[in-house]
Amino acid sequence: MKDAIQLTGLSQPELVSFLETMGEPAYRGRQLFAALQHRRLCSFDEITDLPKDLRTRLNNVAKLATLTVQSQYLSDDGTRRYLMKTHDSLPVETVFIPEERRDTICFSSQSGCPLQCTFCLTAQLGLLRSLTAAEIVDQIRITLNDAYGTGVKPPRGTNLVAMGAGEPLLNLDQLLKALRVMSDPQGLHIVPNRVTVSTAGVVPRILELARISDRPHLAISLAAPTDELRNELMPINKRWPLEELLSACKAFEKTLKPGERLTFEYVMLAGINDSDEQARQLANLLNRHDIRSKVNLIPHNPAEPLPYRPSSDAVVERFKNILESKGVHTYVRRPRGQDIFAACGQLAARQTTLNTRVETNLVGAN
Ligand code: SF4
């Protein structure tokens, strides 16, 4: 069954066509799509509105669940973190962050990551492989089922952010396929406008994304105001340096909708990128390119063996004030789930690289 078709990565029309190739009428495809994407069912046995013989035939040629939950962790602040496993035993991390008015699910686009950002534990895994559209969709289905119960409508809206493991723009085809499946009103109905994709700066793909009409929002991880420092922290900068990256952002700006801003993420590393001078350099850089944007200052989640510490609250506040005094819209992202290592790639990297089992806050393990 290794090459079995992964049904949760198929759009409604694709599922209809697939069932037609099995000699079934179109309405069976629509029924199956609703069972997977609206009722979020995870086994053929549960889809009792399909005839038993059809379920048996489907079971022989197709796969319903592409991921299994290996461990899950619940933070004191309600954040849930999942370490899932693909059929070929690769780690996939997903984080559920409940907030007053909406929930956010942070999903992974790859298992591991080929980029080598020095402040990120996932980097230490290297790229294991890119995820399929079904594996992306299944992270959301599994997370919503766990948070609210199978098929239960979430009480608040759901936002998605592609900020888990991996560089989403290096898996753009599968990512866009997954987003199309999830946007269907008869399924999960999470439209691209509720999705933010975060990139380390893959310039050609930023330009490609700009040409897509129903694209998600874009966030760029900057982490440094100069090429010299960014080359060190994010080696992708040697391939696409800041001037080239910000020129691509300027081109992307033309596609922004009214009220929409491009987001620049800036992880705050004590003594590395958080000085007053660096705040001024960052403001000057952004002002020079005059992009309709905002900056999110992100507290670094410390994780051994990474050699970085988070900036203090006072330093973050000061950095923010300098940016704002120069006209840059700036927000500080509240750290969530710190007690469960809820930063990019921390869980898989911890388990895989360090072979360490996290025992605190364990609420279940499959
Ligand atoms: S920060 Fe993101 S892009 Fe950089 S290595 Fe980690 S997962 Fe990859």
pLDDT at 306: 87
Q: How many CA atoms lie within 13 A of 234 on its CB side?
A: 25
Residue 359 binned pLDDT confidence (cut-offs 50, 70, 90): very low
Q: Residue 299, preceding bond cis, omega within 30 degrees?
A: no
Over 50: is that where the pLDDT of 356 sits? no
pTM of the predicted model, to two decimals? 0.92
Q: What is the pLDDT of residue 305?
A: 83
Q: What is the pLDDT of residue 76?
A: 87
113 lines ligand 1 (CB under 6 A): yes
Based on the residue annotation, tell me whether 93 is a catalytic residue of this protein.
yes
Contact 184, 11 (CB under 8 A): yes
Chain centre to alpha carbon of residue 150:
22
* Number of Cβ atoms within 10 Å of the Cβ of 355: 7
Peptide bond into 305 cis (omega under 30): yes
Mean pLDDT for the chain overall: 90
Which atom of ligand 1 lies closest to the CA of 110? Answer: 7
The DSSP element (H or E) to which 340 belongs, if any, is none
* pLDDT value of position 360: 26
Q: Percent of the chain beyond pLDDT 90? A: 82
298-350 pLDDT, tens digit per residue, is 988 887 788 899 999 999 999 999 999 999 999 998 776 665 555 545 555 55
Amino acid 33: pLDDT: 98
Task: State the residue for tokens 């035993």.
Answer: 89
DSSP state, residue 293:
E
Range scoring the smallest mean pLDDT among 8-22, 183-197, 272-286, 289-303: 289-303
> For position 357, what pLDDT does the model report?
31
Nearest CA, atom 3, ligand 1: 167
Find out whether the beta carbon of 123 lies less than 6 Å from any atom of ligand 1: yes
Tokens 């933010």 locate to: 196
Report the distance separating Cα 104 and Cα 79, nearest Å.
10
| Mean pLDDT for the stretch of residues 168-178 | 97
Q: Based on the residue annotation, tell me whether 344 is a catalytic residue of this protein.
A: yes
Q: How far is the CA of 200 from the centre of ligand 1 (A)?
A: 7
CA separation for the pair 45, 9 (Å, rounded): 19
Q: Is the model's pLDDT at 37 over the cut of 90?
A: yes
Residue 102: predicted pLDDT: 92
What is the per-residue DSSP string for 178-226? HHHHHH-TTTT---GGGEEEEES--HHHHHHHHT-TTPPEEEEE---SS
**Is the pLDDT confidence value at 363 over 90?**
no
DSSP 80-95: EEEEEEETT--EEEEE
Catalytic residue among 24, 93, 135, 265: 93
Question: Given the CA of residue 116, which atom of ligand 1 is nearest to it?
Answer: 5
Q: Which helix (H) or strand (E) holds 164?
A: none
Centroid of ligand 1 to alpha carbon of 345 (angstroms): 8
Is 233 a residue whose pLDDT tops 70? yes
Q: Is there an atom of ligand 1 within 6 Å of 108 CB? A: no
Instruction: Using DSSP, state whether 353 is helix, strand or coil.
Output: helix
Amino acid at 207: L
The rounded distance, in Å, linking the Cα atoms of 284 and 301 is 27
Q: Does the structure show a pLDDT above 60 at 167? A: yes
